[in-house]
Structure 1
Amino acid sequence: METATEGQKLEFKNFENKPTALVAGGAGFLGSYLCEALIAQGFNVLCVDNLARSSKKNIEKLLSFPNFFFWEEDINRAGFTISPNVKITHIFHLASVEEYLSSNNLSLETLLVNSIGTKNLLDVAVQKKAKFIFVSSSEVFRGAFSQKNLSIYFGKEAGTTHLTFGEAKRFSETLAAEYFNKFDLPVVIVRIKDPYGPKMNLSSDNIVSKSISQAIKGKIEIIGDGLRVANPTFVTDIIFGIVKAAIKGEKGEIFNLISRERCTERALAEHLKKLFGGVEVVYKEQKELDLPESPLILDDAQGKLNWDPKVPLDDGLVQTVNFYKVGGTENKEEKNVPSNPIVPPVELTGKKGFDKNFLRNLFLGAILVLFLWATAVPIITSAASYYLGNKNFNSALEELKQDKTDNAVAHAEKAENFYKRSQESLQNISWLLTATNLKGTLQQTSNYLFLAETLSRAVNFESKSIGNINDASSADGEKLKEDLKKAIENITEADKNIDVASTISIDARKLPAFLNKDYQTLQEKRQTLESLSETINSNLESTQ
């Protein structure tokens, strides 16, 4: 422990002026998205995870960021603490946040993480005077029904893990409240329900993950009439709410980050059947009664945080399904990859007295060529991709202003892909920039490219929305309604990307000189997109 925390202290020195977040469960589904969001917000992030039910693959893209640190550790361990030299401003507790996994062992772990683990994190929060954000679940509302279901605590019925999870979260909330009362600890609680999205854990027993898991296998089995209700909430909406609660939430507040969009198990199966194609939906007799639906409180976050889910269910399912269609996996064991390639020995043959200097020069020359290849190629690729991204972005924006929506969409998609490619190439030389004390430049350039990528998506969705409005102008009846609905959905997505762009923190002083002017221009383009969005929204409101 001491070695790990001392190492973290040395790395954090260059970022002491930034807020520092400890994310427990940071390599999990929700935790990995939260780490990405906090990095984009300019936080230092210490990700703590024992990898029992998560995967390091979820955070592999973050490992090269200079202000991201991964620590494989169990928060349940006796004596868990953080070195006094490491400054922590926020603690996010997302360990065991994914709902009621079916394994009995994981049910026990759920209780331990939400008791011992929570206490350990609360003690660290008191020591560091850090804000404590606990991610809970709507399952706590089931407490009113627990007295009617005590008989199944010692059974093997499916409801047992539901009760385990709900009671564990209720205990954690109560424990956090006691620390709030006793130590005046700034505690904020957020509750979620039915989270879903790419990288979700398909072993979870909630309606959404179970249905997607079965759809992948080609057969969805529905027990009973299929009228169980879910409130699927897309992962990025949840994360946006958690970050808002951490920054704007007052101590002692509770926020329910739950979508108002309800969906029955039957309707969800039909959605997935259309998306996957060739999926069979089978109904089976229900032999056991379900636990009663828990009551929900949905107004706190909307009022206090001005939070509302932006991603409609159809769009979220498309993104999730596409992730698994192209081979996305969850919780696979990571294979041990040797740090150096294993090369079979090569036997040199030749005449006696072979010139050793020639061999040495040949070897040094080969190393030089490899070094130039490893550095020059990524730099050239990143620069070329950035140039092409700018070219397509500018074309898309001009075409958007001229109502050439189809061309604008095509160029915006190309711009987004080129900016992504530029970021990937830049990360390939992160080791070189780190070694030459250019970590800050690397971070700010990555943030800049992410900003450009996000604004490209905004142009894409605004162009689609205007195209839908143009189509609606010559339509009537159901076609008119459908076009206007699509226009609203697309401008909502555009607004979401503009909102994300406004939260990306960039220190222009650390950008390469040639990007400084481009950064100012990009900010002006963001303002242009905001203005266009307001006009589009105004036009759509007039049609209502």
Structure 2
Amino acid sequence: MHKGRTLVTGGAGFIGSHLCEQLLARGNEVLCVDNFYTGTRKNVQHLLANPRFELMRHDVCFPLYVEVDQIYNLACPASPVHYQFDPVQTTKTSVHGAINMLGLAKRVKAKILQASTSEVYGDPTVHPQPESYWGNINPIGPRSCYDEGKRCAETLFFDYRRQHNLNIKVARIFNTYGPRMHPNDGRVVSNFVMQALGNDDITIYGDGNQTRSFCYVDDLVDGLIRLMETPDDITGPINLGNPGEFTIRQLAETIIELTGSSSRLVSRPLPQDDPRQRQPDLGRANSILGWQPTTRLRDGLALVIDYFRSLQAEELPSKPLMKIVSNCA
């Protein structure tokens, strides 16, 4: 088990904060770096008293000079609402961020993991999606800043491996949910739960028959750590997600049931390039990492609902930060 100094970029974000928490529990020193564009200090507030935890405000679009022996590169807005708000900056974060973190890893001889995404598969024509599938991407659409930015980051990681023999790992993360999601980030789980708790209409884009696979954050973090701890010759990419496939309509109906909401389902037009299906092939994760998710969707949703209910007791923004544009997380 690794117990050195670990850098987590995007560490004050939803997934990053859970990763920092688990690394500390395993005895690591953790340097959490975030520019707080979508992450918040509140997500890591409970970690600040830990002497092995350090929080630094920094944008990965600029070089970082620190001493670490492993790097988890999670920095990038991940919900359509956030990454489409400033698409040029989104691409810069993926590409410049990868270059800067790879440069750091090369200088200090650190092992580095890239948090890539199932979005590299685009609107897939192969189902479920294995890592060998090259994807079906629109390179000039409204989602391209994120999809192509992450694809370019993967390219950079493998070129640094080939050119500089860098010790890299690439994880392709599928839809993930859990406590510390932003209530107004436009992701389908947070969107539906907040609408249900307010007894508001639940907005379904398209006919609601498009499918997603939802992975609880603790399961995902376990997969990331397992991948980081594999031998140097294992690079990935490796899919991390939950193979249980649900339609958007099924998700909405389950959330209405769990919240006891009086919300109704209403339809809106499907956004451009919204994928119809998304489900990971976990063959590599099973065989290489010995990993598979264990949290049932209903159990995970109950924890998210409890979290958002606790937020309602505090001051929430009265309006979403930006227009909700998609059912895709």
Q: TM-score under structure 2 normalisation?
A: 0.85
Residues paired across the two proteins, number: 302
| TM-fit CA distance, 1:31 | 0.4
> Within 2, Cα distance between the matches of 1:175 and 1:115?
8
Deviation for aligned residue 1:166: 1.0
Cα distance 1:271–1:294, how it changes in 2: closer, same or farther (>3 A)? closer
Partners of 1:20 and 1:331 in 2: CA distance: 36
Two-structure CA RMSD over aligned residues (Å): 2.4
- How far does residue 211 in structure 1 lie from its aligned partner after superposition? 1.9
Q: How far, CA to CA, are the matches of 2:154 and 2:217 in structure 1?
A: 22
Extract unaligned runs of 5+ from structure 2: 123-133, 318-329
Q: Secondary structure at the match of 2:183?
A: coil
Contact 1:190–1:255 (Cα < 8 Å) also in 2: yes
Specify whether residues 279 and 192 from structure 1 end up closer, same or farther in structure 2 by C-alpha distance, changes over 3 A only: farther
Decide which of 293, 305, 312 is 2:289's aligned counterpart.
Answer: 305
Instruction: Report the Cα distance in structure 2 between the residues aligned to 1:287 and 1:309, rounded to whole angstroms.
Output: 29
SS in 1 for 2:80: coil
Shift of 1:145: 2.9
1:64-108 CA deviation, whole Å, 9 max, x = no partner? 11111111111112xx2224xx3x110000111623234644433
2:164 aligned partner: 183
CA 1:289–1:329 in 2, change beyond 3 Å: closer, same or farther? farther
User: SS at 1:76's partner residue?
Assistant: coil
| 2:240 matches 1:240 | no
Q: Which has the higher contact order (CA 8 A, sep 6+)?
A: 2
Query: Helix, strand or coil: the match of 1:327?
Result: helix
Structure having the larger proportion of residues in helix: 1
CA displacement at 1:276 relative to structure 2: 1.4
Write out per-residue CA displacement over residues 475-524 of structure 1, whole angstroms, 9 at most, x where no aligned residue: xxxxxxxxxxxxxxxxxxxxxxxxxxxxxxxxxxxxxxxxxxxxxxxxxx
Asked if the contact 1:26/1:94 (under 8 Å) is kept, the reply is: yes
Aligned match for 2:265, one of 282, 286, 289: 282
C-alpha distance in 2, partners of 1:128/1:282? 53
Residue 146 of structure 1 is matched in structure 2 by: 137
Contact 2:118 2:174 in 1 (8 A): yes
In 2: Cα distance, 1:317 partner to 1:75 partner: 32
- Aligned equivalents of 1:51, 1:127: Cα separation in 2: 26
Give the match's secondary structure for 2:8.
strand
1:22 aligns with 2:7: yes
In 2, distance between residues paired with 1:254 and 1:269?
Answer: 31
Distance 1:27 1:299 in 2: 31
Identical amino acids, percent of aligned pairs: 30
**Aligned letter for 1:94?**
L
Distance 1:329 1:112, change over 3 A: farther
Question: Which structure has the highest strand share of the two?
Answer: 2
SS at match of 2:227: helix
| Alignment map for 1:113-132 (pairs within 5 Å) | 113-132=93-112
Task: Please give the TM-score of this superposition, normalised by the length of structure 1.
Answer: 0.52
Letter in 1 for 2:152: F
In structure 1, what residue type is equivalent to 2:165?
A: D
What secondary structure sits across from 2:229 in the alignment? helix
The CA distance in 2 between the partners of 1:329 and 1:167, in whole Å, is: 39
2-side partners of 1:53 and 1:203: how far apart?
11
Give yes or no for contact 2:227–2:289 (8 Å, CA) kept in 1.
Answer: yes
Q: Which residue of the partner structure matches residue 210 of structure 1?
A: 191
Q: Which residue of 1 aligns with 2:320?
A: none
8 A Cα contact 2:197 2:261, kept in partner: no
Judged with a 3 Å threshold, the aligned counterparts in structure 2 of structure 1 residues 184 and 227 are, in CA distance, closer, same or farther, namely same
Rounded Cα–Cα distance in structure 2 between residues aligned with 1:112 and 1:329: 37
* Paired AA for residue 253 in structure 2: E
Give the deviation of 1:292 after TM superposition: 4.1
- Describe how 1:88-487 pairs up with structure 2 within 5 A: 88-96=68-76, 98-102=78-82, 104-142=84-122, 144-147=135-138, 150=140, 153=141, 160=142, 162-218=143-199, 219-248=201-230, 250=232, 251-284=234-267, 286=269, 291-293=274-276, 296-327=280-311
Shift of 1:19: 0.7
Question: For the pair shown, which has the larger CA radius of gyration, 1 or 2?
Answer: 1
Q: Taking structure 1 as reference, are residues 223 and 322 closer, same or farther at Cα in structure 2, changes over 3 Å only?
A: same
The separation in 1 between residues aligned to 2:314 and 2:83, in whole angstroms, is: 16
Query: Is the 2:31–2:54 contact (alpha carbons within 8 Å) kept by the matching residues of 1?
Result: yes
